Amino acid sequence: MPSLVHSTVLIMSFAGKCYLRMAAHAKLMSRRAKTLTGTSFEGVQYGGSRGTQTCRRKFNPAIRWKNISNSNGTRKRYEYFNGEVFCMSGVKRNHAQIEGNLNLSLRLAVPRCRVYGGSLRVNTPSMPPYRYPDLSVVCEDPRFEVMGGLDVLTNLILIIEVLSPTTEAYDRGDKFTYYKSISSFAEYLLVAQHRPHVTHYVKQGDGIWSYEELNDLSDTVYLATVDCSLALAEIYRDVEFSSDASSPYGLTPAESK
CA gap 91, 17 in Å, rounded: 51
Same domain flag for 211 and 140 = yes
CA gap 47, 200 in Å, rounded: 29
> Which class for 247: exposed (0-12), middle (13-18), buried (19 or more C-beta within 10 A)?
middle
**Sheet hosting strand 114-116, strand order edge to edge:** 114-116, 135-138, 158-162, 187-191, 198-203, 209-214
Same domain flag for 48 and 141 = no
Q: How many domains does the chain have?
A: 3
* Cβ(188)–Cβ(176) below 8 Å: yes
Same domain flag for 234 and 138 = yes
pLDDT at 7: 57
pLDDT at 91: 83
Same domain flag for 50 and 98 = no
Q: Indicate which CATH number applies to the domain containing 223.
A: 3.90.1570.10
Same domain flag for 229 and 203 = yes
pLDDT at 242: 82
pLDDT at 58: 44
Same domain flag for 121 and 175 = yes
Same domain flag for 110 and 215 = yes
Strand partners, 209: 203
Same domain flag for 188 and 224 = yes
* Cβ(71)–Cβ(77) below 8 Å: yes
What string of pLDDT tens digits covers the 257 residues of the chain?
A: 556 555 555 555 655 555 556 566 555 544 544 443 343 333 333 333 444 344 444 444 444 444 455 555 555 666 665 665 666 656 899 999 999 999 999 999 999 999 999 999 999 999 998 999 999 999 999 999 999 899 999 999 999 999 998 889 999 999 999 999 999 999 999 999 999 999 999 999 999 999 999 999 999 999 999 999 999 999 999 999 987 655 554 443 333 33
CA gap 73, 92 in Å, rounded: 25
Residue 191: closest CA among 135, 138, 256: 135
- Pick the last residue of a domain from 72, 90, 108: 90
pLDDT at 247: 53
Same domain flag for 49 and 99 = no
Asked whether residue 218 is assigned to any structural domain, the reply reads yes
- Pick the last residue of a domain from 90, 111, 129: 90
Sign (positive/negative) of CA torsion 106, 107, 109, 111? positive
Same domain flag for 233 and 170 = yes
Strand, coil or helix: 156: coil
pLDDT at 52: 38
Same domain flag for 75 and 170 = no
Domain assignment of residue 80, given as a range:
37-90
Same domain flag for 42 and 166 = no
